[in-house]
Amino acid sequence: AHLLCDAKVCVTIDPTKAWERVEKRGGMDRADFEKRTAAQLDLEKKKSLSDFVIPNDNSIEELKKITKQVFESIKNQVKVSA
């Protein structure tokens, strides 16, 4: 299925930081978080299959900035190949 997309994007976050955010937000205990994390594809594998990797370890402003850059790259890529 990943071959049918114009681009593949992976959003990454350090697992410790991810847990901190989940814990702050509430609604999931540590065991459930670990179980869900373990059930996902390995992060390095996800990154290797992706055309773009967006780190989500910084501020929301930085995330928005990088996301917009990736979006513009994908739009330009699609225009060129169309």
Q: Over the chain (82 residues), what is each successive 10-residue block's mean pLDDT?
A: 79 95 94 96 94 95 97 86 60
pTM to 2 decimal places: 0.81
Structure tokens at 9: 């994007």
Q: Is 26 helix (H, G, I), strand (E, B) or coil?
A: coil
pLDDT at 82: 56
